[in-house]
Amino acid sequence: MMNNDLQNKILKAFEERYPGFPVLIKSPGRINLIGEHTDYNEGFVFPATIDKYIYVAVAKSDNRYSSAYSIDFDESVKIDLNKLEKQKNGSWKNYVIGVVSGIVEKTNLSDNFNLVFGGDIPIGAGLSSSAALENGIAFGLNSLFNLGLSSNEIMNISIEAEHNFAGVNCGVMDQFSNLNGKKNNAILLDCSDLSYKHIPVQFDDYQLLLINTNVKHQLTDSPYNQRKQSCKTGFEIIKKHFPSVSSLSRTTINQLNTVKAELTEEVYNRCLYVIEENSRVQSARKALEERNWKEFGKQLFASHKGLKELYEVSCDELDFLVDLAKQEPVVLGSRMMGGGFGGCTINLIEKKSIDRFINKVKLEYLNKYGLNPDFYSVNITDGIKTVKL
Ligand code: GLA
């Protein structure tokens, strides 16, 4: 659907349900070029916002409660600002109520509102639809009620909602990039102090192609939170020996090897991955600036290998897509993207060979898994914005 169509659909849905003229927020999804699972280890990430969005329309309400309606789930929720409680696991309502709870806590908001949202960021694809929704709500309420929240305050409210209501102890990458994206640029973000630089991204004869496995393996006991815990365990031991090291990302492989005997194999592997991935971000950045696309692609493949073998957050379907990409010289690099266990791969592919490659992947993936993958040729766009109506 074209952006304007999507925008009109949201506005129409709002008009059908609620009175008043809403503020409309356009909140993008994100890709990450490289630097996966490094954000909560105070390392570097390299995300960019893309032309897939969640729109949030929100207006004041005279009712004694607030309401939110999800177009895509065709469900609504009544919100009592004095009674903001976690909903059942996996429900979209947690994102809304989580953010509202953070805002009420921070600003004492007591005015009610009606909100409608929907969009075209595929859910569970590793494109951060949840951060887009959280920030969209926080940004929308901030603007509607003139709450005066800064960009970092909005980010923190969204992150807290993700931790305490959605139950994922995420890092800063998704919410930060959604707020700070810039057209045709990726964000080289240092998660230790949130300093960042916009780096122009333009791949000449190549382009980025996302392939959605259309699987999301729901594993019990959040494996994401477990990875974070392993990194913490590893770093606590490293820190005992090297008190001046500030984070796992800043640890050297030599330092890690010095304490190897004190770590389980699993914790060692997780730590090794993080240290290597963090330095891959720098290599990829250098390759990008030197327009050395082959080298850039090599870093993507190496990242996938680490994610698969050391960090163990990949899955068969993702590995299959990366292996297919590896067989094709027109694909310079490929890796899983985002939290893992499903979702998309990100590929750097020669523009003129895209159609042929897509046809091949479609056929082979369908043959193997009985499932159609989706393909997105995304463009890098600006971060979250209010739409002028
Ligand atoms: C999810 C989290 C991010 C980040 C990535 C992995 O998207 O929300 O904070 O940790 O996984 O890089």
Q: What is the rounded average pLDDT of the residues 342-357? A: 98
- Whether 191 and 222 map to the same domain: the answer is no
- Whether 34 and 155 map to the same domain: the answer is yes
Count helices and strands (H / E) in the chain. Answer: 11, 13
CB 128 within 8 A of CB 51: no
- Whether 138 and 215 map to the same domain: the answer is no
- Whether 57 and 163 map to the same domain: the answer is yes
- Whether 182 and 226 map to the same domain: the answer is no
**Whose CA is closest to atom 9 on ligand 1?**
171
Element (H, E) at 46: none
- Whether 21 and 155 map to the same domain: the answer is yes
Q: Ligand 1: does its nearest atom lie under 6 Å from the Cβ of 350?
A: no
- Whether 162 and 23 map to the same domain: the answer is yes
Q: Ligand 1: does its nearest atom lie under 6 Å from the Cβ of 35?
A: no
- Whether 37 and 125 map to the same domain: the answer is yes
CB 52 within 8 A of CB 127: yes
Q: Ligand 1: does its nearest atom lie under 6 Å from the Cβ of 173?
A: yes
Q: Ligand 1: does its nearest atom lie under 6 Å from the Cβ of 33?
A: no
- Whether 130 and 221 map to the same domain: the answer is no
Grouping H, G, I as helix, E, B as strand and the rest as coil, residue 121 is: coil
d(CA 82, CA 266): 44
> Residues near 70 by Cβ (< 8 Å), separated by ≥ 6?
76, 92, 117, 118
CA of 267 to the centre of ligand 1 (A): 19
pLDDT, tens digit, 9 for 90 and up, residues 64-113: 999 999 999 999 999 999 999 999 988 999 999 999 999 999 999 999 99
CB 381 within 8 A of CB 51: yes
**Whose CA is closest to atom 11 on ligand 1?**
339
Give 132's pLDDT tier (boundaries 50, 70, 90): very high
**Radius of gyration of the chain from Cα atoms?**
21
**Whose CA is closest to atom 2 on ligand 1?**
170
- Whether 257 and 354 map to the same domain: the answer is yes
CA of 40 to the centre of ligand 1 (A): 8
Residue 83's alpha-carbon distances to 28, 98, 105, 147, 358, in angstroms, are: 30, 12, 12, 20, 49
Residue 170's alpha-carbon distances to 63, 113, 163, 226, in angstroms, are: 34, 28, 7, 11
- Whether 310 and 368 map to the same domain: the answer is yes
CA of 59 to the centre of ligand 1 (A): 31
pLDDT, tens digit, 9 for 90 and up, residues 212-222: 999 987 655 68
CB 200 within 8 A of CB 185: yes
Q: Ligand 1: does its nearest atom lie under 6 Å from the Cβ of 93?
A: no
pLDDT, tens digit, 9 for 90 and up, residues 176-187: 999 999 999 999
Residue 311's alpha-carbon distances to 55, 93, 128, 231, 337, in angstroms, are: 34, 31, 20, 10, 13
Q: How many independent structural domains does the chain possess?
A: 2
Q: Which atom of ligand 1 is nearest to the CA of 128?
A: 7
Domain of residue 119, CATH code: 3.30.230.10
Average pLDDT, the chain: 96
pLDDT of residue 226: 95
Q: Where are the beta strands (DSSP E) in the chain?
A: 23-32, 44-45, 47-61, 66-70, 75-79, 112-119, 185-190, 195-200, 206-216, 331-336, 342-350, 374-376, 385-386
Q: Ligand 1: does its nearest atom lie under 6 Å from the Cβ of 340?
A: no
Domain of residue 342, CATH code: 3.30.70.890
CA of 38 to the centre of ligand 1 (A): 8
Task: For residue 315, give the nearest of 213, 176, 232 by alpha carbon.
Answer: 213
Q: Ligand 1: does its nearest atom lie under 6 Å from the Cβ of 227?
A: no
Q: Which atom of ligand 1 is nearest to the CA of 37?
A: 12
Q: What is the rounded average pLDDT of the residues 235-241? A: 98
Mutate to test the pocket of ligand 1, among 41, 127, 173 (most ligand atoms within 8 A of CB): 173
CB 55 within 8 A of CB 70: no
pLDDT of residue 315: 96
- Whether 124 and 231 map to the same domain: the answer is no
Parent domain of 179 = 3-200+381-386
pLDDT of residue 293: 98
State pTM to two decimals.
0.96
CA of 92 to the centre of ligand 1 (A): 18
CA of 174 to the centre of ligand 1 (A): 7
The one-letter amino acid at 89: N
